[in-house]
Copies of this chain bind each other. A is one copy, B any other.
Amino acid sequence: MTGSIEFYFDFSSPYSYFASHKIDALADRHERDVAWKPVMIGAAFKQTGARPLTETPMKGEYAKHDWQRLARFMEIPWTLPEPFPIAALAPSRAFYWLADKDPGQARLFARTAFAAYYGEGRNISRPDVVADLAAPLHVDGEELLAAIKEPEIKARLRQETELAIARGVFGAPFIFIDNEPFWGSDRMWMIDKWLDRGGW
């Protein structure tokens, strides 16, 4: 019962952004590592019939208000970026390319991308923006831009997404602890409790 906490997220999911600010501290309290795993959650929406929140009547208006409120309560930056939602292929592919070399650097990149998108409204679906964001992490921009076009990296993101869906991931964030599933940024309390009691 000491495996990594698996943190599935989509860069285009505000609730993933909020969870990204909590998951590592929560894991630290229980002496667990976190494996960050970006996926394209839209692929799961095709199975569930879900639509992006901002395109869903009633729920969209609530969500926009809720994101502002959550950011305020958590005291973290927030802006509803334009465009939103995005197909976050570029940052997700860049993440896996970095992760294969240095998981810590990949996580730092993920935080940077989240902050750029939801803090400053920068369009992280653009490869050039992703390269800019990676530069301060001593990543060569040209190398990154070439890497995220490689069939292997594209296949990697597709495989991670397919595996996630096969495991039951239908929304983001979605967290597994020893294969126990937890959906949503609201379930940090339950994850805490689960780890405290060591399961059921």
Contact = CB atoms under 8 A, between A and B. Distances in A.
Interface of A: 44, 47-49, 51, 56-59, 61-62, 65-66, 69, 72-73, 165, 168-171, 181, 183-184, 186-187, 189-190, 193, 200
12 contacts: A44-B58, A47-B58, A48-B59, A49-B51, A58-B168, A58-B170, A66-B183, A69-B200, A72-B200, A73-B193, A186-B187, A189-B189
A170 B66 CA distance: 14
Contacts of A49: 49, 51, 56-57
A138 to B, nearest CB: 39
Contacts of A66: 183
A48 B56 contact: yes
B184 A59 contact: no
Given A57-B48, A200-B72, A62 B187 contact: no
A57 B48 CA distance: 5
B48 A181 contact: no
Contacts of A165: 58
Contact of A47 (B57, B65, B170): B57
Given A49-B49, A73-B193, A181 B58 contact: no
Nearest to A66: B183
A62 B181 contact: yes
Nearest to A174: B62
Contacts of A69: 190, 200
A180 to B, nearest CB: 9
B73 A190 contact: yes
A47 B62 CA distance: 14
Given A58-B165, A58-B169, 19 more contacts: A48-B56, A48-B57, A48-B58, A48-B59, A49-B51, A49-B56, A49-B57, A57-B170, A58-B168, A59-B170, A59-B171, A61-B168, A62-B183, A65-B181, A66-B183, A69-B190, A72-B200, A186-B187, A189-B189
